[in-house]
Amino acid sequence: MGLIRKKADVIITNNSTLEEFHKKIEKVLQKEIPKYDKYIRPSWDEYFMEIMKTVSKRSTCDRGRTSAIIVKDKRIIATGYAGSPPGTEHCDEVGHLFETRYDKDGNESKHCIRTIHAEQNAIAQAAKFGISVDGVTIYLNMEPCFSCAKLFISVGIKRVVCQKKYHAGEMTREILKKAGVKLEVFEDNEEKY
Distance CA 160, CA 49 (A): 12
What length does the chain have?
Answer: 193
**Strands 67-72 and 137-142, how do they pair?**
antiparallel
Distance CA 189, CA 183 (A): 15
Catalytically active residues are: 119
**Closest to 169 measured CA to CA, from 138, 191, 137, 140:** 191
Q: What are phi and psi of 31, to 5 degrees?
A: -80, -45
